[in-house]
Chains A and B, each alone.
Chain A
Amino acid sequence: GENVEQHPSTLSVQEGDSAVIKCTYSDSASNYFPWYKQELGKGPQLIIDIRSNVGEKKDQRIAVTLNKTAKHFSLHITETQPEDSAVYFCAASNYGQNFVFGPGTRLSVLP
């Protein structure tokens, strides 16, 4: 079955700097890769996603890149703000069936 690894497990950056979180997956059949942000005491919320036929996608300060050959994808947050502090999860899915999540990255943006 699918296995998703995520690094780093914790990340601290200064406000205004960039943050990068990387994930790798094992199943070459996976074709959909969403990223979720989870704030304390809340459910995960989708922040950006990418399909396997696209190499990069941007939404304001957030971008995701996908390398299907190497089976890895990354989340990039630019101009970080304190409200970006949260736990971020990547996931891989094969046609919207079982979503397998990475273990999460705790991002702290220091003012």
Chain B
Amino acid sequence: GAGVSQSPSNKVTEKGKDVELRCDPISGHTALYWYRQSLGQGLEFLIYFQGNSAPDKSGLPSDRFSAERTGGSVSTLTIQRTQQEDSAVYLCASSLGPSSGNTIYFGEGSWLTVV
């Protein structure tokens, strides 16, 4: 597709369940980012993938959060044993890679509600 695609767009899950959020980056983009945005708040960095390099996981808030990127394209963010404080919009973004001026383009987000 032309832009970053995320699914599901909305997810309601029960506390304690695991969830998977998917991101399809723009074709040809080697860098992929996950951010979290709580209601009315800013963008919190979670994880960054660049090509075949080891991902920068410095933003993951706990070991319940993990992400992988298969074949250098699609990425899945997994949240295990969800808690109510995990409720937020999870935004994926991609770019051409680490170079000055290569901006990131966001998807529409996956809105997660933990009840």
Give residues in A with beta carbon < 8 Å to B.
31-32, 34, 36, 42-46, 49, 51-52, 89, 95-104
Contact B107 A97 (CB under 8 A): no
Contact digits for B9-48, partner A, Cβ 8 Å, 1 yes 0 no: 0000000000000000000000101010000011101001
Contact B100 A51 (CB under 8 A): yes
Per a CB cutoff under 8 Å, which of B31, B97, B101 touches A32?
A: B101
User: In this assembly, does B62 line the interface, its C-beta being within 8 Å of a C-beta of chain A?
Assistant: no
Contact B109 A97 (CB under 8 A): no
Q: A49, A95, A96: which has the most chain B beta carbons within 10 Å?
A: A96
A103 and B106 alpha carbons, distance in the complex (Å):
17
With A89-B42, A96-B31, A98-B45 as contacts: A43 and B91 at CB distance below 8 Å = yes
A51 and B99 alpha carbons, distance in the complex (Å):
11
With A44-B91, A45-B106 as contacts: A101 and B99 at CB distance below 8 Å = no
Q: Report B2 CB to chain A, min CB distance, Å.
A: 13
With A96-B31, A99-B33 as contacts: A46 and B103 at CB distance below 8 Å = yes
Contact A95 B41 (CB under 8 A): no
Chain A hits for B103, CB < 8 A: 32, 34, 46, 49, 96
